[in-house]
Amino acid sequence: MALQTQTVQQTSQTLKLLGDYNRLRMMQFIYERECCVCELVELINLSQPAISQHLRKLRDGGLVMEQRKGSWVFYRMNEDHTTFNLMKEILQSLPSVQSELDELEQDGLNVICHK
């Protein structure tokens, strides 16, 4: 693991994207499980457009992939990205966000989609 090398440019771009507090938080959740926008809006203390704009940056950088399911758009990690293993290392070094996801469920604010 983490033994393949990737370009410095690619890596610095990934790190720049993860180097924003709110985006890093978003990635923590998306790493735990795929999330839709409205869930992230609940989980992160930011407006919906702000979340949307961050997600676009993450998608443009290739870090996440989007998938529309009905009216929701779900985002998940892009496991094919060059820096995926590195991202895993980074996200694993952080405290778990599981409890926050649990709380979201308890509040009935998680989205269940059968598409």
Partner DNA sequence: CCCTTATATAAGTTAATACTTATATGATTG
Partner DNA sequence: CAATCATATAAGTATTAACTTATATAAGGG
Footprint of DNA on this chain (CB under 7 A)? 16, 20-23, 36-38, 41, 46-50, 52-57, 66, 68, 70-73, 111
Indicate the SS3 state at residue 15: helix
Tokens of 16: 């720049």
Residue among 85 and 100 whose Cβ is closer to DNA: 100
* Residue appearing with tokens 């990737």: 6
CA atoms of 2 and 50, how far apart (whole Å): 32
Binding part of the chain for a second copy, among 47-55, 66-74, 84-92, 105-113 by CB under 8 A, reads 84-92
Tokens of 111: 């989205």
- Smallest gap from Cβ 36 to a second copy, in A, equals 21
- Smallest gap from Cβ 59 to DNA, in A, equals 8
The 27-66 site mask, x for binding a second copy (CB under 8 A), equals -x--------------------------------------
**Total residues in contact with a second copy, by rule CB under 8 A:** 31
Residues of the shown chain interacting with a second copy in the complex, contacts defined by CB under 8 A: 2-9, 11-21, 24-25, 28, 83, 85-86, 89-90, 92-95
